[in-house]
Structure 1
Amino acid sequence: MTSSDTTAPASTYMFDNDTTEAARQVQILADVLDDHTISVLESVEVPHDGRCLDLGAGAGTISTWMAGELVPAGHVDILDLNPRHIPTHDRTTVITGDVTTHEFTAAAYDLIHARLLLMHLADRDQVLARVAAALKPGGVLVVSDWETTHLDEMFVRGSAEVAAAFLAFQRALIGLGETGGMDSRWARRIPAAMTDAGLVGVTAQTFNRVWVGGSAGMLLHDCNSRQKQTELLAAGMTLEQLDTLRTAMTDPQVWAWHWPMHTAVGVRPAN
């Protein structure tokens, strides 16, 4: 099922779902992050017939998992600015709309999930507060975002040439995001923002791992470099550096940490 939030103006995000690399990118993101996300969602209490909301769903893998496993007798709404990569499901409803202007129904959801969304929004704290108000009493909010600082500590193993290209890419890519309004440090503030929004029982954890060339975590860098090539070159990278990076991202002798993902869980008070 689909519907449209026709009054919502488009927002500008770092990546465009209409590019040729976008379908590959959202699937790689799922491969990198879904195990972590599912482990967190499995730890929260949600009624089997509950109503969930997935914000900025990417490939829709978590939305589909929630509909099939977390609330097998319930329903999942999906709000996404450009939901073209989200599959249909008989117990999901896709809403095309902008989270920054969408009118959320108060006290409507048992669970709301947002991953790699709020870090890109200039009014992220206000959006989080509005989203929290859409929870039913006792409802749960799960927010995950990357912290994209300490870029010079990510590279683990490979030649000096590869290390230099990798760091140049990270600095240029994150610089583009920050120019567009992304907050590299927001992820660490999620627990405080949840508390400020009135949520209780807030907990948080950090997920990260070392990836080797050819694995999903490294292929994401390759994919991102192709999506943003024009902007990366304008930011000072060279085609030679991009070629070096892309070759290295498929080499199992090259290792790197990813950006750490901070995931926080908060509950709307029952009273």
Structure 2
Amino acid sequence: MTAAPDTDTTAADGRYTFDNATIDAARQVRLLAEILDGHSTDVLARAGVESGWRCLDLGTGAGSVARWLADQVSPAGRVVAIDADPRHVPTHELIDVRTGDVTTLDLGEGEYDLVHARLLLMHLPQREQVLRRAVAALKPGGVLVVSDWDCTHLEEMLLRGAAGLAEAFVTFQTALVGLAVDNGASASWAHRVPVAMRDAGLVDVEAEVHNRLWTGGEAGCLLHASNSRQMQAAVLARGVSVEQLATLRAAMEDPGTLAWSYPMVTSVGRRAED
């Protein structure tokens, strides 16, 4: 079994692995939205988001979830969207876009009906501290929704592909996730979020796993090709060959390829009423 490396106890510098300023970043965040927004908005709808709510979207990325939230809380609510580089977030009259580092930025106390974080905490060495600060930012009765990839079973993702793809795919994924871990990410954090939520005092904690199979040419496969371009220099330095990247990219466009996304674990908890 090829499992991704992980870290929670070793030192890491905490750099976010992907850079919103790169050429492929805009495409990456659009693909992530296409892959994940249906799941995220379904969970948020079940959480009861409604008009008048004040919401905080941490690591907002393309801002697609923030925009959905703004539509739900209209006309009296508000959405605060925070990202270290929010250049891809669209303008919206109910979205207050803020640039900042969530590990140091003041999130406030008891201000929000909802705090949402997708594909953020897994990348932060300070993930549990940030989660506790997100809990503190909730109003009594407020809801925290955290979604992160489970990157621990990389060898199970590819179901079918051209000759040579299996080795290229796993080699690339192992290098990519290993790079993220070296930068402070955790490949297995998603499974521990419900416990972290309980430890932070949340109640009614629930979790579910979302995944689906993608065909070459669809968003779930195209994301791997996009990642391979954005992180090309770094994964080449970790032992992935130019030939393997070419094999991977061609396969992610090939309708004969079948691959799962990384499983997404979404955890939901509520701050107790005072």
1:219 maps to 2:222: yes
Any idea what SS the aligned residue of 2:235 has?
helix
Query: Alignment partner for residue 254 of structure 1, among 247, 254, 257?
Result: 257
The answer to whether the Cα contact below 8 Å between 2:125 and 2:185 also exists between their aligned partners in 1 is yes
Q: Give RMSD over aligned pairs.
A: 1.2
Matched residue of 1:264: which SS? strand
CA distance in 1, matches of 2:249, 2:73: 37
Runs of 4+ with deviation above 3 angstroms: none
Give 1:123 deviation, angstroms: 1.1
Q: Match for residue 98 of structure 2?
A: 95
- Correspondence for 1:147 among 145, 150, 158: 150
- Structure 2: 5+ residue stretches without partners: 1-12
Is 2:38 aligned against 1:15? no
Cα offsets for 1:163-217 (capped at 9, x unmatched): 1111111111111111111100000001000001110000100001111100000
**TM-score, length of structure 2 as denominator length:** 0.93
Give the whole-Å Cα distance in 2 for the aligned partners of 1:176 and 1:95.
Answer: 28
Distance in 2 (alpha carbons) for counterparts of 1:90 and 1:167: 44
Tell me the alpha carbon deviations over residues 237-261 of structure 1, each in whole angstroms, 9 at most, x when there is no partner: 1111101100000001000111100
Partner of 2:164: 161
- Within 2, Cα distance between the matches of 1:181 and 1:12? 7
Matched, 1:128 2:134: no
Say whether 1:118 aligns with 2:128: no
- Matched residue type, 2:199: D
Looking at structure 1, the residues matched to 143 and 225 of structure 2 have their Cα atoms a distance apart, in angstroms, of: 35
Deviation of 1:159 after TM superposition, in Å, equals 2.7
Amino acid at match of 2:171: A
By how many angstroms is 1:45 displaced? 2.1
1:171 equivalent to 2:162? Answer no
| Structure 2 SS opposite 1:249 | helix
1:244 has 2:243 as partner: no
CA distance in 1, matches of 2:110, 2:49: 15
Are 2:199 and 1:191 aligned? no
Residues 267, 71 of structure 1: alpha-carbon distance in 2 compared, 3 angstrom cutoff: farther
**Distance in 2 separating the partners of 1:217 and 1:55:** 23
Q: Distance in 2 between matches of 1:262 and 1:46?
A: 20
Structure 1 partner of 2:77 = 74
8 Å contact from structure 1 (residues 46, 71) kept in 2: no
Equivalent position amino acid for 2:110 in 1: A
| Structure showing greater relative contact order (alpha-carbon pairs closer than 8 Å, 6 or more residues apart) | 2
Q: Distance in 2 between matches of 1:255 and 1:241?
A: 17
C-alpha contact (below 8 Å) 1:51/1:110 kept by paired residues: yes
Find the counterpart in structure 2 of residue 5 from structure 1.
none
TM-score by length of 1: 0.94
Pick aligned residue for 2:64 from 61, 64, 76: 61
**Does residue 84 of structure 1 match 2:94?**
no
